[in-house]
């Protein structure tokens, strides 16, 4: 019951209606049934994710912010003139990094790459509060954004690329390596890359982080079915499914699933699918891989980076790793 591939946010095609319908059809017909996790983030899904980040049981965001604030000067050293962030969200993390670096820094060009226009607009507002910055937004997938940035190389100064929030955890290992390779290709030797990754921790903590007692993560997961009902005329009965968070020890990942509580027939006319789900059968909606600190160093080294520093939050088990393109 452990297939090897799950489409990652970056690997999926653009979010046009036909792309969504085609992918819903394709992935629901797989065995086991699945849906790409990138579709969790419509407007409501993004708001639910923001709420997850404030839950006491989901400490990732706060741990990462503490590390960014505590090491801002080492991360944003004097040579950096350009910062690229893949998936900036609200811009709060980059903002904390810039604030933590102090006032003696030079001018900064900030390039923000995100598929969400709403997120980009908010991040721009947040970041333009800082003195001496220029914000450029790229409404694009990571891949397209990286290509654009590869073309817009700077002649002076170095670039720092950020990939935070343990978003890398959604990639399966081949997808992860391909992604790191495309980041490396977009960089020049001497440019830096900062990667935020959640670490393996006691299983009860992991389960609570992905199955919180307030049910916010369950709502985040079920919203994917609500979205399919809304946008593709699906007839999923949201009361007929339960949220599951399963720790897969062998693959070192938390899997989110939606379990059918009974035998039920499902139709999604605009995706041209109809099928029956058995009681207990699940739709696999997300994987979040968790790493050990040395795994992060070796995956970066295999992709053409040398690691300069790794900072670990010992309490919440989260790592920031600063690497240099070699």
User: What is the binding site for ligand AVJ (CB under 6 A)?
Assistant: 52, 165-167, 169-170, 210, 217, 286, 288
Structural contact between residues 133 and 162, judged by C-beta atoms closer than 8 angstroms: no
Q: How far is the CB of 50 from ligand AVJ (least distance, A)?
A: 10
User: How far apart are alpha carbons 82 and 60 in whole angstroms?
Assistant: 26
CA distance 154 to 142: 19
The DSSP symbol for 252 reads T
- Of 145 and 165, nearer to ligand AVJ (C-beta) is 165
Q: How far is CA 41 from the centre of its chain?
A: 10
Least separation in angstroms between residue 49's CB and ligand AVJ is 6
- What residue is closest to ligand AVJ based on CB? 288
Token duo for residue 139: 């409404």
Nearer to ligand AVJ, 186 or 206 (CB): 206
CB closer to ligand AVJ out of 218 and 297: 218
Least distance (Å) between residue 153 CB and ligand AVJ: 29
Shortest separation between residue 138's beta carbon and ligand AVJ, angstroms:
19
How many CA atoms lie less than 13 Å away from 260 in the CB half-sphere?
19
Q: How far is the CB of 151 from ligand AVJ (least distance, A)?
A: 28
Full DSSP string of 46-79: HHHHHHHTTSTT--HHHHHHHHHHHTHHHHT-TT
Q: Nearest to residue 249, comparing CAs of 209, 212, 292, 203?
A: 203
Which of residues 88 and 165 has its CB atom nearest to ligand AVJ in the complex? 165
Give whichever of 42 and 286 is closer to ligand AVJ, judged by the CB atom: 286
Q: Which helix (H) or strand (E) holds 319?
A: strand 318-325
The strand pairing partners of 161, in sequence order, are 84, 193
Q: Between residues 112 and 271, which has the closer beta carbon with respect to ligand AVJ?
A: 112
Q: How far is the C-alpha of 186 from the C-alpha of 179, rounded, in Å?
A: 11
Residue number, 53 or 101, with CB nearest to ligand AVJ:
53
- Name the E strands within 147-200: 158-163, 192-198
Q: How far is the CB of 280 from ligand AVJ (least distance, A)?
A: 22
Q: How far apart are CA 222 and CA 216, in angstroms?
A: 10
Q: Smallest gap, in angstroms, from Cβ of residue 52 to ligand AVJ?
A: 5
CA 99 to chain centre: 23
């Amino acid at each position: 019951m452990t297939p090897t591939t799950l489409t990652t946010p970056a690997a999926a095609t653009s979010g046009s209606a036909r792309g969504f319908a085609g992918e819903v059809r394709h992935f629901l017909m797989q065995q086991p049934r699945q849906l790409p996790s990138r579709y969790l983030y419509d407007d409501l899904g993004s708001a639910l994710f923001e709420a997850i980040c404030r839950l006491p049981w989901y400490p990732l965001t706060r741990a990462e912010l503490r590390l960014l604030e505590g090491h801002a000067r080492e991360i944003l050293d004097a040579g950096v003139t350009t910062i690229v962030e893949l998936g900036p969200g609200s811009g709060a993390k980059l903002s904390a990094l810039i604030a933590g670096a102090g006032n003696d820094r030079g001018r900064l060009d900030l390039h923000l790459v995100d598929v969400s226009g709403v997120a980009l607009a908010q991040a721009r507002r947040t970041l333009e509060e800082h003195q001496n910055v220029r914000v450029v937004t790229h409404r694009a997938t990571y891949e397209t954004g990286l290509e654009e940035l590869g073309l817009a190389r700077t002649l002076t100064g170095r670039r720092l690329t950020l990939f935070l929030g343990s978003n890398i955890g959604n990639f399966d290992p081949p997808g992860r390596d391909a992604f790191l390779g495309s980041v490396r290709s977009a960089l020049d030797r001497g440019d830096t890359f900062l990667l935020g990754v959640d670490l393996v921790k006691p299983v009860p903590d992991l389960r609570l982080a992905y199955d919180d007692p307030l049910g916010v993560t369950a709502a985040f997961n079920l919203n994917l079915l609500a979205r399919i009902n809304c946008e593709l005329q699906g007839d999923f009965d949201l009361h007929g499914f339960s949220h599951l968070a399963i720790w897969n020890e062998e693959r070192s990942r938390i899997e989110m699933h939606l379990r059918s509580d009974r035998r039920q027939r499902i139709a999604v006319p605009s995706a041209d699918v109809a099928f029956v789900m058995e009681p207990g059968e699940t739709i696999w909606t997300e994987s979040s891989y968790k790493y050990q600190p040395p795994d992060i160093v070796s995956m970066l080294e295999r992709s053409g980076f040398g690691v300069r520093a790794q900072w670990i939050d010992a309490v919440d088990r989260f790592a920031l790793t600063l690497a240099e393109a070699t």
